[in-house]
Amino acid sequence: MKPICYYALAGALALGCLPGEAPAASRKGKPAQSLYLTNVHMVSKMTGAPLEEETCLHPNATDRDYDVHGTDLGIMWRISGDRIGIFFGDTNGEGFKTGNGGCGSNWRSNVLAFSSDTDLSDGLRIDSMALDAEGKAREICAGGKAQAEPYQTSIPTSAIRAGKTDCVHFMNIYEWAGGKGRWLTNFSSIYTSDDDGRTWQRQEGVTFSPDSHFSQVAYAKKDGWVYMIGTQSGRGDAAYLCRFREKDLLDMGAYLYWNGSDWVADEQAAVPVLRGPIGEASLMFHEGLKRWIYTYSYDPGYDKDPVTRVQAVLYCDTDDITRWDGERKVLLTHDKYPIPYCAFMYPETRGDKVYFALSMWQPYNVYLMSADLELRPDEAR
């Protein structure tokens, strides 16, 4: 992402669950259950050069091979077969120094990697990246740079494959310090690819306004629908819900928004399904457990009733995507992982584990993490 000094000032990730009716399971007279992510640990470093103090695995040399020395995010989605795409954020090249979240040459607003690695127990190996004429990772979603007026950078927020089309949602940011956890955008929109990620085109027909609650989203698919949980850009908003058929990806008129009781074709009618503050988020439907999992960045400074006093990544789960009334749970905190943000889940689980990409501000790079999955009675009830 952009000179990350501003990015860090915005805080860390956040999300919560609105109080409301009892969970679906208890409404049916069954014991209330909740999904717990335990045994969280670091598997490998995904990007950048290894640091002396790091003991984790390091299967990639993105600094040497692609001029990706410092970066963040790691948004993963399945393209086809075993092949996944991975979008990273503001990226720095040669000359990058750890400790300040940015700096270095060849600043790109985003870059794209590909992987066909299916054994994540020893790290996620990157096969290739989308390259420029010099053989360096190239920018996909066009973003102005510091010399531009007004300043802008285009940051990916989520990606999905709808039918045979790959799609990345991004926010075009011009100010990181917008107040109350907001980042200020010119717009949010999508790029798509019809050739498995080789070339990409901006789709102006799908554009969200600067104040839209879908300026920053998390995509997931189920039964032919693409579900989209969104917030305003930043880390201070509540979360809102939208869905559309895969075939309708480019038709915003076919997007349906949850108004609290029904799906309607009116973005302004959408109501919060998760209380804030919510930052960069990731959404998954676990086929085996039949549960939705939502991870997000959390900054306690924007929460009237903080779950934790330090920056963290939280998560929620539910069996009904329109009802998130369970406990907010802590995935990891700043106490162990310095200035953590984002937990972008690998698009499928591996047995009883979920893998996710974690960004950390100090090294300003991305790490592969894993956690064990366990469904048990909700400790909050």
Rounded to whole angstroms, the Cα distance separating 289 from 25 reads 13
The total of structural domains in the chain comes to 1
Residue 149 has pLDDT above 80, yes or no: no
What is the per-residue pLDDT for 147? 57
Apex CA 271: angle with CA 215 and CA 282, to 5°? 45
Report the amino acid identity of residue 341: Y
Structure tokens at 120: 């994540």
Q: Considering the chain, what is the average pLDDT of its residues?
A: 90
Quote the pLDDT of residue 357.
98
Structure tokens at 256: 């349906």
E strands, 12-126, in order: 33-45, 73-80, 83-88, 111-115
Q: Contact 194/167 with Cβ under 8 angstroms?
A: no
**pLDDT tens, 12-41?**
333 333 333 333 333 444 447 889 999 999
322 is written with which tokens? 């329109």
How many of the other CB atoms lie within 10 Å of CB of 117? 15
For residues 239-253, one letter each, b for 16 or more C-beta atoms within 10 angstroms of the residue's C-beta and e for the rest, the string is bbbbbbebebbeebe
Nearest in space to 360 (alpha carbons), one of 38, 47, 94: 47
Give the CATH number for residue 246.
Answer: 2.115.10.20
Alpha carbon distances (Å) from 330 to 228, 263, 314: 22, 31, 4
Instruction: Give the pTM.
Output: 0.91
Cis bond upstream, residue 150 (ω within 30):
yes
- The torsion defined by the Cα of 176, 178, 181 and 183, in degrees rounded to 10, comes to -50
- Report yes or no: 296 and 330 within 8 Å, Cβ to Cβ: no
User: How confident is the model at residue 379, as a pLDDT?
Assistant: 63
Domain assignment of residue 123, given as a range? 4-377
pLDDT digits (tens, 9 = 90+) for 252-273: 999 999 999 999 999 999 999 9
Contact 71, 90 (CB under 8 A): yes
pLDDT of the residue at 356: 98
